[in-house]
């Protein structure tokens, strides 16, 4: 009888160890939850960032190629280029949408009512999904240092942010090597001092 109990105990212990190891492995190798903040779309950002005291940031974006990035996917050139990469329709293929839109692959629960991928490379492509930081009270807290911007999803873009799409591996003809300083100057939209 003791032998039988010992075998049951050993099998139980082995089952617990296997369960524990597989749950740790599964936890360790599951991709992290990429989306924890909701995308709200350019229209929400525009509410505050169209004003002079914010440096007309919305207008700067609207006049940039970023605002037209999704539209370019409908051009004959984009469709021709897409064929080289096995893309039937650039406006629906993830290979293209990854860099020509904002948050295209986010689950629907992370897309606000006004979110629309046709806005192209919107504010949230570079600054992070704004659902938690777009409110004036939060932004003031972030600027004053009372609130941790990362906790609310606000990203301060840098050269690496840009090179996520502007790189030699992108599926697009590279006209010239990406020069961060030159390109940054073209899209710079700082909040004026004061």
Q: What is the pLDDT of residues 96-117, one digit of tens each?
A: 999 999 999 999 999 999 999 9
Residues 122 and 100 in one domain: yes
> CA-CA distance, 116 to 31, in Å (whole number)?
26
Count structural domains, the chain. Answer: 2
Mean pLDDT over the full length of the chain:
85
Greater confidence, 88 or 26? 88
* Residue 56 located in a structural domain: yes
Kindly state the average pLDDT of the residues 5-23: 60
Residues 4 and 82 in one domain: no
Residues 127 and 95 in one domain: yes
Q: Could you tell me if 49 and 57 are in contact, meaning their C-beta atoms sit under 8 angstroms apart? A: yes
CATH number of the structural domain spanning residue 153: 1.10.1130.10
> CA-CA distance, 38 to 67, in Å (whole number)?
20
Residues 25 and 98 in one domain: no
Q: State the pLDDT at residue 23.
A: 42
Handedness of CA 58, 72, 129, 190 (dihedral sign): negative
> CA-CA distance, 147 to 133, in Å (whole number)?
10
Residues 95 and 157 in one domain: yes
Residues 180 and 114 in one domain: yes
Q: State the pLDDT at residue 13.
A: 60
Residues 6 and 66 in one domain: no
Q: Which of 107, 124, 132, 115 is nearest to 66 (CA)?
A: 124
Residue 26: pLDDT band (50, 70, 90) is: very low
Residue 88: pLDDT band (50, 70, 90) is: very high
> CA-CA distance, 27 to 33, in Å (whole number)?
12
Residues 143 and 66 in one domain: yes
Segment holding 86, helix H or strand E: none
The parent domain of residue 8 ranges over 1-30
Looking at the chain, the whole-number percentage of residues with pLDDT higher than 70 is 82
CA 152 distance to own-chain centroid: 14
CB neighbour burial string for 148-158, b if at least 16 within 10 angstroms, e if fewer:
ebeebbbeeee
* Residue 35 located in a structural domain: no
* Residue 36 located in a structural domain: no
> CA-CA distance, 152 to 84, in Å (whole number)?
40
Q: State the pLDDT at residue 65.
A: 94
Q: Could you tell me if 121 and 99 are in contact, meaning their C-beta atoms sit under 8 angstroms apart? A: yes
Q: State the pLDDT at residue 15.
A: 58
In this predicted model, what pLDDT tens digit does every residue of 138-190 receive, in sequence order?
999 999 999 999 999 999 999 999 999 988 777 666 667 889 999 999 999 98
* Residue 110 located in a structural domain: yes
Residue 28: pLDDT band (50, 70, 90) is: very low
Residues 94 and 52 in one domain: yes
Residue 161: strand, helix, or coil: helix
Q: What is the pTM of this model?
A: 0.77
Residues 10 and 52 in one domain: no
Residues 61 and 151 in one domain: yes
* Residue 57 located in a structural domain: yes
DSSP state letter for 162: H
Q: State the pLDDT at residue 138.
A: 94
């Amino acid at each position: 009888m003791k032998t039988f109990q010992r075998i049951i105990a050993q099998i139980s212990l082995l089952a617990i160890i296997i369960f524990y190891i597989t749950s740790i492995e599964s936890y360790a190798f599951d991709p992290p939850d990429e989306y924890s903040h909701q995308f709200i779309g350019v229209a929400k950002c525009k509410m505050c960032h169209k004003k002079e005291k914010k440096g007309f940031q919305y207008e700067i974006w609207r006049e940039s190629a970023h605002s037209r990035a999704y539209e370019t996917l409908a051009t004959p050139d984009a469709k021709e280029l897409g064929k080289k990469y096995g893309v039937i329709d650039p406006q629906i293929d993830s290979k293209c949408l990854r860099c020509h839109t904002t948050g295209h692959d986010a689950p629907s629960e992370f897309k606000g009512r006004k979110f629309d991928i046709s806005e192209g490379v919107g504010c949230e492509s570079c600054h992070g999904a704004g659902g938690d930081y777009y409110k004036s009270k939060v932004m003031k807290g972030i600027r004053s240092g009372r609130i941790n911007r990362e906790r609310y999803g606000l990203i301060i873009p840098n050269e690496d942010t840009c090179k996520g799409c502007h790189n030699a591996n992108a599926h697009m003809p590279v006209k010239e090597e990406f020069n961060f300083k030159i390109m940054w100057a073209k899209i710079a939209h700082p909040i004026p001092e004061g």
